[in-house]
Amino acid sequence: MTLVCLRANDSALVLDVSGPKLPRVLHWGADPGSLEGFALATQPFALQVDEPMPITLLPAQADGWLGRPGLAGHRDGTWPFQRLTLTGDPQVEVDPAGGGRIVVESADAAAGIQVVSELLLSPQGVVRVRHTVTNSGDGVWTLDRLEALLPVPGQARELLDFSGRWPREKQPQRSEFQHGSHVRENRRGHTGHDATGLLIAGTPGFGFRSGEVWGVHIGWSGDHVHAAERFAEGVSLLGGGELLLPGEARLAPGEVYASPWAYFVYSAAGLDGLSSALHRELRARPSHPHSARPVVLNTWEAVYFDHRLDRLTALADVAARIGVERFVLDDGWFLGRRDDKAGLGDWYVDPEVWPNGLHPLVDHVRGLGLQVGLWFEPEMVNPRSRLAEEHPDWVLATPGRWPVLARNQVVLDVAHPDAYAYLLDRISSLVTEYGIDYIKWDHNRDLVEAVHAGRAGVRAQTLAVYSLLAEVRRRHPKLEIESCSGGGARIDFGILEHTDRVWTSDTNDALERQAIQRWTGLLLPPELMGAHIGPPHAHTTGRYADLPFRAATALFGHAGLEWDLTSLSEAELAQLTAWITLYKRLRPLLHTGDVVRADHPDPAAWLHGVVAADGAHAVYCYAQLTAPLDLAPPALRLPGLDPARTYEVRVLPEVSVELGGSARNPAWRDGVTASGAMLSTVGLRAPRLNPAESLVLELHPVVSRRS
């Protein structure tokens, strides 16, 4: 047995690369330290064959594996089962500072396929896995499945994944990890409002700050699958990949298919440890936005389709006065766009609404010192549009069949060369003409009967959109792009290779947002999640919330506003000014620190925060969601602090409810000094809050770390 071990961030990946079969993963989880005795301790599983067989990187029936195959395909119905063997020694690069890379080449010469498997362990402790298959034989080879799968130990007995809908994304689902398959297949043509994002297995009762957890995320914006399987033979697997539609990956001789990256992450410190590794992985990217995330004003819930120059310039004037830094003109500026039934696809400024183009508005906004953003929905088209009338063949559909409508629109075939060229020209021309700083790139419906060039076309559409985004950014390297898909329906690491933030949800209801941001935040750090203050009555739910609660919720993201500021009183504007000033002061912490979440005993209230990496600064939000279980709420135990430091705790009035009465006004309300150990173990007496009220605390150390 030839062992290879990659280690980083207290986690490890141990493989047997002795061949001739593909390597098998002997261990993925906590760093075991010395590998002495490892070969004897980790014998192959006894499957239903006479000889114990290894479960390899691509489990196969040829190895006696009867679960989900890692690789499935055929050559016109023949060679339905592959038997891969190594074609050379694996390439192993171990980074002494942590992490490393393994590349494995294998083939089934008789079946006529070659496979390259890549495993990368980053210094942050995230394992990336990708497989590439090449048709090395004669004739077409059809690929049905190519998934990344890693084993998880028997201690993982619970599963956590997520569902949702518009506009209520990322709703958690928790269940026992039982024998059989737990499979989340997404056929929406984009990531989807109900996409799990993360599929997590863990030890019983795991929480934010406790338990071992193993998670997987598929970095792909088209159809995809996440799966967990457990068998009576004593093996469990976690993984997934692209969900291929029939005939979508027919490889001609020499043609190659590369799976999307699958991201695997382990933590011995609960969900916060898993989340921290993923956040650091994203923040380590060269493309990660490192400039201060500007305060945004989006015009949608301020004016909707009512685009008038005087109204919008007045809105910009107020925005600049209170400290907004980026003004984004949303839907309604292009040809025929008076409602959502017409105009999509006709990406020309409407001269009836804007006789002088957008220049008067853009010049006014720039004169106020604000950046300018513009809304697009490039992948969609209304049947009532010039584009649909002149180019019906550009619609993503079966030839001769018009697809069903959704939101009064159909999908444009971005992989059609002429449609691609048209979109690139229109977007690039408008960015150039108006010096646009930012695009809100929307995508408001699922793909149904997506056919490109006579075949299932979700994969081609996804790759074409990636290519289009990359080319727009290449032409305009300073341009920032937001991924919006009816809110949070396209949030994944694939789209984030080409964008700078996501619109987390179409709802600005702060109570709904507490949950949406909490669970989306497992995958993404705050600076990538758009979070806006909307009107007092939420557009999507009608629920009312006071300004401090809405402001506290939006603080913990890439903050902005979506509200008619011209309708506000001077007192409200003063509150917003103070909130924006606070956000600008705190964003260096909020957008670089470690996100922490308490396992608070009362499910009616949540306690979360951000702590600087060195423990020298922290901010927490205590949010009451519904009526508390007890008259005296449990103490607020603040996670993530340095136990050896002494901290000064103070309430931030800009984003906190005004407390009155002894039950609601604890003795520490005006400030307290305590050790990190006391604050995290004993905690602070919690005030009694009403539903949709919050308290935000800021902490600074007052005593240097003890020697």
Dihedral of alpha carbons 74, 78, 82, 87, sign: negative
In the sheet where 11-16 sits, what is the strand order? 3-8, 11-16, 24-30
| CA atoms of 541 and 60, how far apart (whole Å) | 49
Nearest-angstrom CA–CA distance, 186 and 204:
27
Active-site residue, 310 included: no
> Which whole-number Å values give the CA distances from 662 to 125, 506, 508, 585, 672, in the listed order?
47, 39, 33, 31, 17
Q: Are 419 and 391 in contact (CB under 8 A)?
A: yes
The DSSP-derived string for 446-468 is ---S-EETTEE-HHHHHHHHHHH
385: buried, middle or exposed (CB in 10 Å: 19+, 13-18, 0-12)?
Answer: buried
Q: Using CA atoms, how far apart are residues 296 and 302, in angstroms rounded to an integer? A: 13
> Is 363 exposed, middle or buried, given 0-12, 13-18 or 19+ CB atoms closer than 10 A?
middle
Which of 315-320's residues contact partners 24+ apart within 8 Å by CB, and which partners? 315/564, 315/565, 315/566, 316/361, 316/364, 316/365, 316/368, 316/370, 317/368, 318/565, 318/566, 318/568, 318/573, 319/368, 319/370, 319/561, 319/565, 320/368, 320/369, 320/370
**Structural tokens at position 291:** 């400039």
* Of residues 179, 344, 329, 198, the one with CA closest to residue 275: 198
Contacts of 201 (CB under 8 A, 6+ apart): 152, 156, 158, 159, 160, 177, 213, 214, 215, 228, 236, 238
Under DSSP, the state recorded for 45 is B
Q: Which of 31, 492, 506, 642 is catalytic?
A: 506
Tokens of 87: 């074609």
Rounded to whole angstroms, the Cα distance separating 297 from 302 reads: 9
Catalytic residue selected from 63, 442, 446, 509: 442
* 3-class secondary-structure state, position 98: coil
CA–CA separation, 624 vs 656, rounded Å?
Answer: 12
At 240, give phi and psi (nearest 5°).
Answer: 160, -170
- Of 14, 24, 80, the closest CA to residue 52 belongs to 24
Look-up of token digits 């969601």 = 625
Q: At 341, which amino acid appears?
A: K
Active-site residue, 350 included:
no
Q: Report in angstroms the alpha-carbon separations of 157 from 160, 183, 196, 237, 238.
A: 10, 16, 19, 12, 12
Question: Catalytic amino acids?
Answer: 442, 506
